[in-house]
Structure formats: C-alpha cells, structure tokens
Structure 1
C-alpha cells in the first residue's frame, strides 16, 4: 500500500499565492532597518548566500542572519540549496 498523498490531500504541499506590492510593503514596514536593507539587496540580486548578502549589504554576518530570520518570520524570504555548492543555502524574496 502506497503512503504517498496528492498535493490536494497534503496541506504542506499547497502553493503560496504571491503577495501584492501593498502586502509586501506592509510586512516589510514593521521590520528593523537591517531586514529592510537585506530585502533591498535581494530585490536587485537574487539568490544570494548569507556571505554574499553580508558583502553586498556591508552588514556583519550575525546581523544578516538576524535579518533573514525576521524576513522569514513574516514570509518574505525563501531559501534553497545552492546549485553551485550544495553545502550552502541561498536566499530570495517571495514576492
């Protein structure tokens, strides 16, 4: 007996609707300046690793990590493994 489920049966497989520009800006408005800067960098260049984000934003790695966590908390950033180096995650905006 197969244990697979179709996307309709699996709520985690649901596809998220893209955010409108207004929804995106409302979520971003409440975030700290570091998260806004990281989002701005990701708007122009994406996907980027945490190290690349630190280089581009001139923020310390720890601040970039905090900013990415805040962006993730409000559903504005996604991540995947890098095609070039599977040991690294790269980040992108979800709007």
Structure 2
C-alpha cells in the first residue's frame, strides 16, 4: 500500500454504490460511465453522457460529496482534472 493510499484511508472513507443510490439520475449516469471508462475529463464525460457541462459538474460535485470519485490534475493539461470512480469493491 502506498503512502497516498494509507493517507486516503485515514482521512476519507471510500464510498460505495449504496452512497450513489439516492443521488440524482445524472450522478448515477456519470458514476456508471466512469465505471466503464476508468479515467475521464469533465468534457469527455459530457460527450459520453450527452449531458450539459453544468449538469456533469453538478453530478461530479455530488459524487465527490459522497466520496465515490477521485480527481487529480491532468499532467498533459493542468487546466483539466481527471476523474475516476473510487468505490469499495
């Protein structure tokens, strides 16, 4: 286990599909798209789901509130963030 993984386990518990159950449909759709595509930018999620960028942003914020996604800055373009699903198995 890396230092960042152990820090994450101590600081923030990982979410589960139970946490996603009561979220809006847009957040559920974004979670499912991330489940199948692993890592995506907000624009890629919007293109894949056909949701407006504002709705994707709202869904990502809701998923982040439930600790079911992880985000980091893109190395190729620091203006973008990369999102991955982070749900306990």
Among candidates 33, 41, 44, match of residue 41 of structure 1: 33
Shift of 1:16: 1.7
Shift of 1:46: 2.2
Cα distance in 2 between the residues matched to 1:78 and 1:85: 17
Cα distance in 2 between the residues matched to 1:46 and 1:83: 16
Deviations 1:28-52 (A, max 9, x none): 1010000000000000112111100
Cα distance in 2 between the residues matched to 1:66 and 1:16: 25
Shift of 1:86: 1.7
- Structure 2 spans left out of the alignment, 5+ residues: none
The structure with more radius of gyration = 1
More helix by share: 2
Provide TM-score, normalisation by structure 1. Answer: 0.76
Provide TM-score, normalisation by structure 2. Answer: 0.81
Task: Provide the alpha-carbon RMSD of the alignment.
Answer: 2.0
The reply to whether residue 16 of structure 1 matches residue 9 of structure 2 is yes
SS of residue matched to 1:41: helix
What does residue 69 of structure 2 align with? 77
